[in-house]
Amino acid sequence: MRIIPKTENYETVSVSTATERREEDEKWFKRSEKPVYTYDLDEDNAKVVCITDGLTFLGRAIVKRLLLHGYTVRVIVNVPDDLEILRVMRDETATFHGRIEAVTAKLTETESLVDAFDGCNGVFHTSGFIDPSGVSGYSKYMAELEAKVSENVMNACTMTQSVRRCLMTSSLLACLWQNATQLELPAVIDHTSWSNESLCKDKKLWYALGKLKAEKIAWKIAENKGFKLSTICAALVTSTNILHHNPTPTIAYLKGAEEMYGHGVLATVDINTLAKAHLRVYEEMNKAAFGRYVCFDKVITQEYEAEELSKETAINLQKIRGDKYYYCYRDSTTPFSLSNRRLSSLMSTTSPISCLD
């Protein structure tokens, strides 16, 4: 593991010249392994966290919110190009209260993750995967890899003395792909719901399958080891120019969109809402809160909403809402309804986060 020295001043680094920053970061990346800092497990590392992928669109949003609230955030990097992204993030957050640390680790190696997590109080497991050879960049192989990495991260968390909790980013797709013929309808999809693994395989919904298997293995380890875990089952992430920022997850999520739209469960969540939810759930885990949380702020049920989503994502409208004639004349009732009442209740209570935001 290689980590930015704690003696480096975050603000000083962020205002240095581009050449100095580049040389400085290259030294950080090439530096030989050093011992991890010693923390008081109850106090010194209370606001020190590691994020398994802080360089994705969602990861960057979470990192920025953590920095805003004074956290020290370790971001896992693997190649020098990652440092360029961190460099930009440091500049963008120079006035924030927190600091960024770069740390190298391999998600496929548990021991490597243990080194990266050592000294952190918590872990945000946000990593996702892309397979250029797979359909929409996400294949059946990637689903298996996602589950394996989830297993590695959870095992590393339970093996690292300083780590007290883990917050995992899952997907609403891990909840909603169910066989309607086996349910009492209308069925409510909420934090207690789980997708049907066989159904995901039959429909070749590899992104849904990957999120489902990854979350299930995480919960199995947490329950067996008595480790505190929470998961956020997020809807399709949206923002301005979302396809430019988040192409693979967006396209992969929308596989099966026609059926989701028809069943009334095609939902979206704004990137900032989702990042805020991550921080709130994580901080509430200090108390009694833990478990699964469904996160969405809009359900696409109307034709004009489907058209807006089509424009936002640059996805063909027919792939979102299916045959126009059928959906114009479909029954107004749908077999499923979505509920995020658990997260809404948590987010609605007064907290320092909501006050600062």
The residues carrying an active-site annotation are: 211
Q: Report how far residue 308's alpha carbon sits from residue 321's, in angstroms, rounded to the nearest whole number.
A: 12
Tokens 């997590």 found at: 117
Candidates 342, 357, 356; CA nearest to 296 is: 342
Give how far the C-alpha of residue 58 lies from the chain's centroid of Cα atoms, to the nearest Å.
6
- What are the DSSP calls for 127-139, one per residue? -----TTSGGG--
Candidates 43, 35, 96, 109; CA nearest to 70 is: 96
Q: What is the 3-state secondary structure of 297-316?
A: CEECCCHHHHHHHHHHHCCC
Torsion of CA 145, 223, 292, 154, to 10 degrees: -40
Q: Report how far residue 60's alpha carbon sits from residue 40's, in angstroms, rounded to the nearest whole number.
A: 28
Q: Do 147 and 155 form a contact (C-beta atoms < 8 A)?
A: no
End-to-end CA distance of the chain: 35
186 preceded by cis ω (within 30°)?
yes
- Contacts with 90 (C-beta within 8 Å, 6 or more apart), sequence order: 10, 13, 14, 21, 100
Candidates 100, 101, 151, 99; CA nearest to 125 is: 151
Residue 80 Cα distances to 59, 107, 116, 257, 296, angstroms: 18, 17, 17, 37, 35
- Contacts with 99 (C-beta within 8 Å, 6 or more apart), sequence order: 10, 67, 72, 73
Task: Give the helix/strand (H/E) hosting 66.
Answer: helix 57-68
